[in-house]
Amino acid sequence: MSEMVERVTEIGDELAAWLLTCWVDVSNPGGAGRALLDGLTDLARADGLDFLHLSYRDGMGLGRFYESCGFSEVGRIPGAIRVAPGDDRDSVLMTHKL
């Protein structure tokens, strides 16, 4: 888990971690993304964490997926990710209370 999750802060008495980088091959659907997030959530709880945080590039249809996995949008950084010249996307910040 240490390669994918970084403990970054304490919020009061609660520990929070950032989900760093993970992805699955969307050309082969079948629940791998949900299984990955469920497994990471279980590991984070077992490690005593209280929150997971992540960010994603807007415009990829990921918001509903992350919400269905228990994450909530808490902010955006407008135009933070340049995909191509003239194509800047928001970085969407999400958190999951474990």
Residues 6+ away with beta carbon under 8 Å from 10: 16
| Predicted TM-score (pTM) above 0.85 | no
- Distance of alpha carbon 65 from alpha carbon 39, whole angstroms: 15
The CA distances from residue 27 to 33, 40, 51, 57, 88, in Å, are 12, 22, 30, 18, 24
Rounded Cα distance, 90 and 97, in Å: 23
Q: Which of 16-20, 33-37, 55-59, 74-78 has the lowest mean pLDDT?
A: 16-20
pLDDT above 80 (res 63): yes
d(CA 8, CA 18): 7
Query: Residue 36 pLDDT > 70, yes or no?
Result: yes
Residue 12 scores a pLDDT above 70: no
